[in-house]
């Protein structure tokens, strides 16, 4: 029998009767068997003691790209899940942007097989369309049966309104969730950054916020027509917030996320033409960044994602307009968020995705399965290359101030600290 004893941890869990109490937690074979002020150390137990140790229900990241299969040089599933564990995440939703694309049950089974025996649980998102090309629906029902928790084409918007409509109708038969990345490609054109004063000053082609907003409006109209439920990932404009607030008031089954980088950074960082800041959707102006924070605080935005997207140096260290979009974000997510949001909001938004994606969320109580994240909310530092655990190093957070730090997790009967 494996026993883990967590010493003097402050429990941060609004749903627990031990909320805000500093206690010892005893875990035996993956189950919390005792929570008390002071528990004697059992023989052979692994003891966890850390400075200013806090514990919360395990964090879930709703958008993570890992590369395998096809782009193992960027990241593998096994190593990526270890990075997630050390960054405080007990579960991730895996994007289907691999080669081949995760668009059938064999691919879903493959990634689940590769994720076995890891502390961090992996939940695959199946592609909505074949090869994520936007023309024909993928094998959604088969993928759901194989273990896919939702369906979407990563960072590719469905341009054909009829495909979007059919997808929303089809998945209702098995209570499926459609993920709708929103961007009108004709309005985006050759744009690479947010359209505005900064893009004009830098001489970079701009993407109007309208490209996102028009698509959100269209997809909300379709949702109202078809029923079903939609999740809008990484929304990034003020009008998008207003549209989603209105849709929720109407009672539509709609949820949305925002990426950490849109809450922490604005387009001012682009002045050095550093391609680490080339992200989709693009970084917006300071007023929008503040509006996104306000939308997190008033719960218009349901959850926060790192939108972790590892890219190799050949695709990232290029002229700004040639580089691929994306930043890694698992390692910096918690520390960066604490610089702009209160702790209780950060914890709530890093666990809220479980409900959206239909995953169980355990309160920290005696006789429950242990799915825990360990962290400290105090201490300030600068995020440097030494803090990057991923195989790829394309972080938009290098040089940024961070607060607190994740110590690790306990999940699936495994301790990573």
Which residues are CB-neighbours of 416 under 8 A, at least 6 positions away? 82, 85, 86, 119, 120, 408, 409, 410
Contact between 104 and 139 under an 8 Å Cβ cutoff? The reply is: yes
What residue ranges in 213-265 does DSSP mark as E strands? 229-232, 253-259
Residue closest to 127 by CA, chosen among 146, 113, 108: 108
Residue 126 and residue 123: Cα distance in Å, rounded?
10
Residue closest to 196 by CA, chosen among 277, 276, 267: 267
Contact between 101 and 131 under an 8 Å Cβ cutoff? The reply is: yes
> What DSSP string describes 153-181?
-TT-----HHHHHHHHHHGGGGT--EE--
Q: Which residue matches tokens 């900064």? A: 198
**What's the chain's Rg over C-alpha atoms?**
21
Q: In angstroms, what CA-CA distances link 64 with 54, 75, 125, 248?
A: 25, 11, 10, 26
Q: Is 307 a catalytic site residue?
A: yes
Classify residue 143 by burial, with Cβ atoms within 10 Å: 0-12, 13-18, 19+: buried
State whether residue 232 is helix, strand or coil.
strand
Q: In angstroms, what CA-CA distances link 150 with 21, 319, 376?
A: 36, 35, 32
> What DSSP string describes 14-25?
TTSTTTT-EEEE
Single out the catalytic residue among 184, 298, 307, 325. Answer: 307
Residue 287 and residue 2: Cα distance in Å, rounded?
51
Catalytic residues, by residue number, are 307
């Amino acid at each position: 029998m494996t026993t883990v004893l967590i010493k003097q941890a402050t429990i941060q869990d609004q749903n627990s009767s031990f909320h805000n109490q500093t206690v010892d937690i005893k875990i035996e074979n993956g189950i919390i068997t005792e929570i008390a002020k002071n528990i004697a150390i059992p023989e052979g137990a692994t003891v966890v003691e850390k400075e200013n140790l806090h514990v919360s229900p395990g964090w879930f990241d709703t958008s993570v790209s890992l590369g395998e299969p096809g782009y193992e040089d960027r990241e593998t599933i096994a190593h990526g899940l270890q990075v997630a564990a050390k960054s405080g995440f007990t579960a991730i939703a895996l994007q289907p942007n691999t080669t081949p694309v995760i668009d059938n049950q064999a691919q879903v089974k493959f990634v689940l097989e590769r994720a076995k025996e890891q502390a961090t649980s992996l939940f695959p998102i199946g592609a909505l369309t074949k090869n994520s090309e936007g023309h024909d629906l993928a094998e959604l029902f088969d993928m759901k049966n194989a273990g896919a928790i939702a369906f979407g084409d990563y960072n590719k918007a469905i341009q054909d309104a009829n495909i979007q409509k059919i997808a929303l109708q089809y998945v209702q038969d098995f209570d499926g969730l459609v993920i709708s990345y929103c961007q009108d490609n004709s309005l985006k054109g050759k744009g690479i950054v947010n359209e505005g004063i900064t893009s004009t000053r830098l001489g970079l082609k701009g993407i109007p916020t309208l490209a996102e907003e028009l698509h959100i409006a269209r997809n909300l109209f379709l949702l109202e027509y078809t029923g079903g439920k939609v999740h809008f990932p990484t929304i990034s404009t003020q009008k998008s917030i207003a549209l989603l607030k209105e849709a929720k008031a109407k009672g539509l089954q709609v949820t949305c996320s925002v990426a950490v980088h849109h809450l922490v950074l604005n387009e001012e960082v682009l002045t050095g033409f550093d391609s680490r800041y080339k992200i989709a959707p693009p970084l917006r102006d300071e007023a929008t960044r503040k509006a996104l924070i306000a939308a997190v605080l008033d719960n218009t935005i349901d959850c926060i994602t790192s939108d972790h997207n590892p890219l190799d140096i050949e695709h990232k260290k290029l002229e700004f307009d040639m580089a691929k979009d994306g930043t890694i974000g698992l390692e910096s997510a918690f520390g960066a968020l604490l610089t702009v949001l209160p702790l209780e909001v950060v914890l709530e938004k890093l666990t809220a995705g479980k409900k959206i994606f239909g995953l169980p969320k355990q309160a920290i109580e005696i006789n429950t399965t242990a799915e825990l994240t360990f962290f400290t909310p105090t201490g300030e530092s600068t995020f440097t290359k030494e803090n990057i655990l991923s195989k790829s190093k394309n972080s938009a957070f290098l040089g940024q101030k961070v607060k607190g730090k994740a110590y690790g997790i306990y999940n699936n009967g495994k301790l990573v600290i």
